Amino acid sequence: MAIEIIEKMNLEAPPDAAWSFITDPERVVACMPGAELVEQLDEKTYVGKVKVKLGAITTAYKGQVAFDTVDDENHTMRLTGEGRETGGGTAKGSLDVRMTELESGIEMSFEVRVDLTGKVMQMGRGMIKGVSGQIFKQFAASARDQILAAAETPEGTPLPAPSPEGQEALSVGGLVGRTLWQGIVDFFKKLFGGGAR
């Protein structure tokens, strides 16, 4: 199943602090619930794991992610990766990031394309996209905190170590509930012309 997800994040932060964050795998992964880096294979390639829990089902992927291109001048980046689920499913995809400087801060755009096989497909395309949107909101909130903290830290001062929270499985039960509720709200907005109350 092919999935495409496009998200944006606006932030009032110095561009250098934001770009430094988004190109640092350890800091990014620390903001992703259920994810952890296991090993660095070379300058551009990492081994990582992701665990997602949906009710009684826990899905765990292990695989590699590579920084294919990082253009510091134009603030663009492309990552590719693939992983295998312990139950035999696979995930293979890419992430394109573009940072644009605004009058007050920056905008980061994220385009994800991923092909999934295995038991996660039982959720369906709409549910996967909805849950992914909720996960992105969690990531964006954590990333915002990290970027702002880095911007306020004097140069040369070590940043705090990444939180170990990423090692716990991401429980998406509540995210699924919010996604279902949003689907119901959207349905009634369309049905009644926009103003569901």
pLDDT in tens, 99-113: 999 998 999 999 989
20-24 own/partner pairs: CB under 8 Å, 24+ apart = 20/150, 21/143, 21/146, 21/147, 21/150, 22/77, 22/97, 22/99, 22/108, 22/143, 23/67, 23/70, 23/72, 23/77
| 30 inside domain | yes
- Element housing 177 (H / E): helix 173-191
> Which residue range(s) make up the domain with 67?
2-153+168-191
Could you report the per-residue pLDDT of 32-44, keeping only the tens digit for each?
888 899 999 999 9
pLDDT value of residue 3: 84
pLDDT value of residue 133: 76
| 160 inside domain | no
Find residue 2's DSSP bridge partners. 115
Give SS3 for 173: helix
Strands (E), 55-194: 57-71, 76-85, 90-102, 105-116, 170-171
pLDDT value of residue 176: 45
Q: Which of 37, 47, 44, 91 is nearest to 68 (CA)?
A: 44
Q: Which of 23, 8, 21, 10 is nearest to 101 (CA)?
A: 10
| 161 inside domain | no
pLDDT value of residue 140: 86
Scan for tokens 């990444």, then name that residue.
162
Mode of pairing for the β-strands spanning 105-116 and 170-171: unpaired
Number of domains the chain is built from: 1
The CATH number assigned to the domain holding 99 equals 3.30.530.20
| 119 inside domain | yes
| 196 inside domain | no
The DSSP secondary-structure symbol of 121 reads: G
Return all residues near 170 (Cβ < 8 A) that are at least 6 apart. Answer: 33, 34, 35, 50, 51, 52, 53, 135
Tell me how far apart the alpha carbons of residues 145 and 140 are, in angstroms, rounded to a whole number: 9
pLDDT value of residue 43: 92
pLDDT value of residue 107: 95
Res 120 pLDDT > 50 = yes
Res 168 pLDDT > 70 = no
From the number of C-beta atoms within 10 Å of its C-beta (0-12, 13-18, 19+), residue 169 rates as middle
Cβ neighbours, 10 Å, residue 112 = 17
Res 167 pLDDT > 50 = no
| 158 inside domain | no
pLDDT value of residue 118: 83
pLDDT value of residue 191: 57
Res 157 pLDDT > 60 = no
Pick the range with the lowest mean pLDDT from 58-62, 93-97, 117-121.
117-121
pLDDT value of residue 73: 95
Pick the range with the lowest mean pLDDT from 8-22, 52-66, 94-108.
52-66
